Amino acid sequence: MRKHALKDWLIATRPWSFPASVMPVLTTISYLYWMNREINVGYGVCALIGMVLFQAGGNAWSDYYDYKKGVDAEDTFGSKILTDELFAPVEVRNLGLVLLVVAIIIGTWLVSRTGLALLWVGICGVICALCYPFFKYRAWGDFLIFIAYAVLPAIGTSYVTTGTIHWDALWTVVPVGLITVAILHVNNIRDVSTDARAGISTVAMKVGVKYSIVLYTAELLLPFVWIGVCIMWRDYPVWSLLGGLVLPLSVNNVRTVCQLPRKGYKVVVNLDERTAQLQLWFSLIFSLSFIISRIVG
């Protein structure tokens, strides 16, 4: 095995995708702040670190199984750390396990400081991380991602930071979760032919190119509709309209995916990364809207 620099190990975790784990935690904390809840910031930071480690470990674990299953090969897009022999498979597998263990240690400490309710959230998170390849290969990956990167972070973060599960926080992470699912979905759109060759099934394969484009479009545009409706129902402050600032980015991504039938799959090669960037900016501005609203009254 070759010697790796710290930068190599970081790249192996796919850091460009980390907004998927950071943003639902940040959005939930911002929402609770707006709702005048008493927040334990220290526990919130620990929860954020734990979520990132869970995602990093899950990414490595998924890459290992994709390589072993033949989903990732020399001619596929996406992660190249194994197909280009930058890492040995056992190294990536062990990296995933180590990161998950560290995340579990952080979670166990938080359970000891908060309560057993968090334990069940953590167990569900571990199951999502370890079983993701199984579900992904059977077209359930999109659903599992929404649970792991929207529902569980909202429940866990609200409990860790306030000592109580605030179910209304789930409404806040819906738009964030939709864009997170879009990251996976457009990745699967790009990989339809190679995934079929590997003998796995994804939602993109199930519904076909036309409806995959429709689904991706909905996942990027519905968050803005959701914000508007929630403002009307006073579940969000009027300041949440600031989220509309990134609407042009969403529209640009939609335009790109609509070129797929005419230009082929290469047009969406980097669209998953662009969707992750959209996730970052959307969630940051969305979270900021709650903070501004609380400050200005």
Domains in the chain: boundaries: 6-296
Please identify every stretch of the chain with a pLDDT value under 50, giving residue numbers as ranges: none
Q: Which residues contact 123 (CB under 8 A, 6 or more apart)?
A: none
| Measured torsion, CA atoms of residues 255, 243, 165, 163, in degrees rounded to the nearest 10 | 130
Per-residue b/e over 237-261, b at no fewer than 16 CB within 10 Å?
A: bebbebbeebeebbeebbebbeebe
φ, ψ of residue 138 in degrees (nearest 5): -120, 25
The conformation of residue 150, written as its DSSP 8-state character, comes to I
Say what the alpha-carbon torsion angle 278, 281, 285, 286 is, to the nearest 10 degrees.
40
What single letter denotes the amino acid at residue 17? S
pLDDT of residue 48: 96
Q: For residue 257, give both structure tokens.
A: 């995916």
Q: How far is CA 30 from the centre of its chain?
A: 18
Q: How high is the pLDDT of residue 1?
A: 58
**Closest to 165 (Cα-Cα) out of 146, 181, 175, 152:** 152
pTM (two decimals): 0.94
Distance in angstroms (rounded) separating the CA atoms of residues 86 and 258: 34
Q: In terms of Cα–Cα distance, which of 80, 71, 79 is closest to 200?
A: 71
